[in-house]
Chains A and B, each alone.
Chain A
Amino acid sequence: MTTTTKTDYDWKKSIPIDQVGVEERVARLNSRSIKKESKIQALKLALSMIDLTTLEGMDTEGKVIQMCQKAMQPHTALPDLPTVAAVCVYPNMVKTAKEELRGTGINVASVATAFPSGTATRKMKLEETRQVVADGADEVDMVISRGAFLKGEYEYVFDEIAAVKEACGDAHLKVILETGELHTYENVRKASDIAMHAGADFIKTSTGKIEPAATQAVTLVMLEAIRDYYYKTERMVGMKPAGGIRKAKQAIQYLILVNETLGEAWLTADYFRFGASSLTNDLLMQIAKQQTGVYQGPDYFSND
């Protein structure tokens, strides 16, 4: 792995991004028409890329256990489906999820670093990171310090990500930029670059707690950042849009974005994830429709 040090990069310099151009590109890609076998393929692929998520203050162990069951067996009527990629929970639920998913190949992801606001001391953030990894998290979803970023303290943001990466050990690090608070595509681009150079394995749009959450335009800007980073270092960084992706149609549009920006190598759960919960059932309904020719009512699909 070749990560560059912060001195290799001039953080003060912004990469120009044309908002109109980004949005036009997204609109054009949205006009792709995915039919027949390629649609079924896309629906199953999307299912296998889901980080099935519950991040509520009122989460219970029972709810997490049920969600893990859903992750393993999304829909009993369709036994041959892929499982989701991971379940994503708060730190206090990591042990529960880990126990439930042991031996299934499904990862446990935990948010950390004072999710969702990220306003805690670095010491606490690192401690929390070490704790969730010790509890069995395979993946850590951290949030960046948006306050520091917007103030222009890019080195602070870089150092923090690098420190969390170190604290992760073998666990994969996803860096949440919370793009809804960054306001411009230039900022999204800069935050993506900082995160990748600091060692992020994935960059992720949002916590899901702030509107707007993931948008296709933001995702495209981040995919283009990943592409430039790959051109430069040959290291593949993954992408995770999260929040607001509820429909199968949207998921397919995201896959098209990935397919035509980064190509086939990124079309795997190793490099692309959806942070979503209700998306799962819409994908299942669409898959069932493709196989049976008719839509079934939502009552035929378990909510968790």
Chain B
Amino acid sequence: MADKQHNTDLQEKPFKPTSPTPRLQFNGFWEYDDAPQSTDSIELKEKYGLFIDGEFQSPESRTYFDTINPANETKLADIAEANEDDVDKAVTAARNAYNQRWSTISARERGKYIFRLARLIQERAREFAIIESMDGGKPIRESRDVDIPLAAAYFFYYAGWADKLNYAFPNRQPQSLGVAGQIIPWNFPLLMLSWKIAPALATGNTVVLKPAETTSLTALKFAELCRDAGLPKGVVNIVTGAGETGAAIVNHPDINKIAFTGSTNVGKNIMKSLAGTGKKYTLELGGKGPNIIFEDAPIDQAVEGIVNAIFFNQGHVCCAGSRLLVQEGVAETIIKKLRDRMETLIVGDPLDKNTDIGAINSKEQFEKINDYLEIGVDEGADIYQSSCSMPDEGYFCRPTLFANVGQSNRIVQEEIFGPVLTIQTFRTAEEGIEKANNTPYGLAGGVWTDKGSKIFKTGQQIRNGVVWSNTYNQFDPTSPFGGYKESGIGREGGLHGLEPYLKLK
């Protein structure tokens, strides 16, 4: 309890022990009024069952858990918790659907259903965006402009592949696997669902998907949409629940393929469970992305890129640029500009159209981030937080910088998954690259320089699945995504994203 009290203190006052006040003043006379997105059009049921065999069913477990709005801690709905029996029912439904329907219809017919799902997501985009923000805490600007349009784009993209698989793998005979078990995280709920379900269906597999326990709603809304689209029953099954439900999927003997996105620790456990079973798997795990700024970079745009890299979606991004590596000649300028820029970030109601940083997804994650803030201070780092106004309730975290950190610090080595950035400097390109690679992770990173050759030279030496240049956090369905080292195995997205769901003869 004493610890907790300390956390709360840390949260409430902005720390600026080592920083002079920002040079520019942003808390001016012209304050933007609230611009809340209306939620009148949203229909949520009080209680959601499991979506198995084309209909919502009460769980065998007879238990339900609450899903809450992290911005105000109010309950949104009861969500069914699937136990092993429920998962077994879902897998059986998926297997029957695979045998009797999905594997027997033509590829073009499959594509037709997926196109239909894509269009329905577009048609109901506003509804999905609002629910995503209510259930997960992300700003409506992001769910409206990024999450939902991208989710539709992934369905459109993979719908196109459904009847062209022979062209994707020339001189091979691509065959579907059967039933795919898919487990997705809470940071991009519908988008991660689309990354999983779209390629699985396009390649002719059926699906049992488990959304994260804090963000089940858009997956359940998607289940309604599968029903509206007339998708054959059992092709998509949504089972809700926490870790045990996930384990039941991973360990089910009649599943052919596991796709998991989540933490590295859980990923390791899944790998152990799958050893020797013959199930195919892809794992997309944590990261501690290096964002490297060379002194010849476009500075003002780089500052903006740093903000997008770490403060996008409250920093709940596995590929977040959470380690800033700045060449020493521009370090002082970058830090000064970054501090001024952070003063203009608006933290608050996720449903307000002007909000830049919404609510931390759950109490658990909120406490974890606060623990790391404390660890950073204890490790002797210089902390700087924006002095922005904060909501009175809900789980909110100030955008935070840690300067004067070392490669050996925990805040530099461990994934915080929050709006917390560490800043290190380097002198030579070699030193920057060495620091970038000195981590067990290898998911994504950024390189900022005005010089094209330096982009390629540096990019090739960074052991990351994705390296962005002069930008950050850009996604496209045609581009593969995945990690090196402890950031995962396999690729999702693009042509590469088809292979994990296929047997190539």
Contacts and interface: CB of A to CB of B under 8 A. Distances in A.
A35 B37 CA distance: 12
B96 interface: no
A136 to B, nearest CB: 33
Contacts of B145: 31
A38 to B, nearest CB: 4
Contacts of A267: 28-30
A151 interface: no
Contact of A264 (B30, B296, B305): B30
A231 interface: yes
A65 B104 CA distance: 82
A107 B25 CA distance: 28
B24 A265 contact: yes
A35 B23 contact: no
Given A260-B344, A264-B28, A16 B298 contact: yes
B471 A227 contact: no
A34 B32 contact: yes
A153 interface: no
Nearest to B336: A231
Nearest to A45: B30
Interface string A248-275: 0000000100011011110100000000
Contacts of B301: 17-18, 21-22, 25
B30 A263 contact: no
A128 B485 CA distance: 70
Contact of A20 (B32, B336, B344, B470): B470
A21 B293 CA distance: 15
A89 B43 CA distance: 59
A21 B298 contact: yes
Interface string B6-41: 000000000000000001111111111111000000
- Tell me what chain A mostly uses at the interface: helix, strand, loop, or mixed: helix
B33 A38 contact: yes
A36 interface: yes
Contacts of B266: none
A34 B23 CA distance: 26
A181 interface: no
Q: Interface range on chain B: under 10, 10 to 19, 20 to 34, or 35 or more?
A: 20 to 34
A262 B141 CA distance: 23
Contacts of A260: 26, 344
A21 B25 contact: no
Contacts of A15: 298-299
A16 B145 CA distance: 29
B354 interface: yes
A283 to B, nearest CB: 16
B35 A264 contact: no
Contact of B32 (A38, A227, A262): A38
Interface in B294-328: 296-302, 304-305
B32 to A, nearest CB: 5
A62 B178 CA distance: 83
A45 B28 CA distance: 13
Interface in B436-495: 450, 470-471
A112 B296 CA distance: 38
Nearest to B32: A38
A15 B450 CA distance: 10
Contacts of B31: 38
A10 interface: no
Nearest to B305: A21
Nearest to A265: B25
Given A16-B296, A21-B298, A24-B304, A263 B33 contact: no
A259 B346 CA distance: 13
B353 interface: yes
A108 B88 CA distance: 81
B354 A32 contact: yes
A230 B23 CA distance: 9
A39 interface: yes
Contacts of A35: 32-35
Given A18-B301, A20-B470, A31-B145, A259 B28 contact: yes
Interface string B401-413: 0000000000000
A38 B353 CA distance: 14
A93 interface: no
A31 B28 contact: no
A263 B30 CA distance: 10
A49 to B, nearest CB: 12
A264 B25 contact: yes
Contacts of B298: 15-18, 21
A255 B141 CA distance: 20
B29 A264 contact: yes
A37 interface: yes
Given A21-B301, A31-B145, A262 B471 contact: no
A179 B266 CA distance: 55
A33 interface: yes
A229 to B, nearest CB: 12
A135 interface: no
A42 B33 CA distance: 11
Contacts of A22: 300-301
Contacts of A38: 30-33
A41 interface: yes
A31 B33 contact: no
B278 to A, nearest CB: 46
B274 to A, nearest CB: 41
Interface in A1-58: 15-18, 20-22, 24-25, 31-39, 41-42, 45
Given A227-B24, A231-B23, A231-B336, A39 B33 contact: yes
Contact of A31 (B141, B299, B470): B141
Given A21-B470, A262-B24, A265-B24, A16 B297 contact: yes
A224 interface: yes
24 contacts: A15-B298, A16-B297, A18-B301, A18-B450, A20-B470, A21-B305, A25-B301, A32-B353, A33-B32, A33-B353, A33-B354, A34-B33, A35-B32, A38-B31, A38-B33, A41-B29, A41-B30, A259-B30, A260-B26, A263-B24, A263-B25, A263-B26, A264-B28, A265-B24
- Give me the 4 closest cross-chain CB pairs, A-B, nearest first: A264-B28, A21-B301, A16-B450, A33-B35
Interface of A: 15-18, 20-22, 24-25, 31-39, 41-42, 45, 224, 227, 230-231, 255, 259-260, 262-265, 267
Given A32-B354, A260-B26, A264-B26, 16 more contacts: A15-B299, A16-B299, A17-B300, A20-B471, A22-B301, A34-B35, A35-B33, A36-B34, A37-B33, A227-B24, A264-B25, A264-B28, A264-B30, A267-B28, A267-B29, A267-B30
